[in-house]
Amino acid sequence: MTVYKAIKAEAEAGAKLAIALSNGDTAAADALATGSTADSTAGTSVKSVLLIPQAIFPENVKDVVADGFTTAAKICTTAKLKEACTKYGVQ
């Protein structure tokens, strides 16, 4: 399955976290970082902002193009794919 996380949402979450930390506001940072990620090198758990990925299907692949992550020209490269792009509104 292909999944996608909107880059804008990822950047906004990272910026909010960076601002809180640069201001020394650990309470705000902790409120944003509600998840955790394993750091296999350090063997610790790191507080993280974990956004929910969107499963990508033919019906919503246009969202990835609309967000500017890629272009229709890069996806709709064969006759079969061009037909699917037209069917599902990928422009």
pLDDT in tens, 18-52: 999 999 999 999 999 999 999 999 999 999 999 99
Number of domains in the chain: 2
Mean pLDDT value across residues 74-83? 97
Rounded (10°) CA dihedral 55, 40, 45, 10? -40
Residue tagged 């880059």 (tokens): 7
Q: Are residues 2 and 46 located together in one domain of the fold? A: yes
Q: Are residues 42 and 17 located together in one domain of the fold? A: yes
Asked whether the beta carbons of 69 and 4 are under 8 A apart, the reply is yes
Tell me the C-alpha distance between 31 and 58, whole Å: 35
* pLDDT at 35 (0 to 100): 95
Q: Are residues 76 and 43 located together in one domain of the fold? A: no
Domain that holds residue 86: 57-91
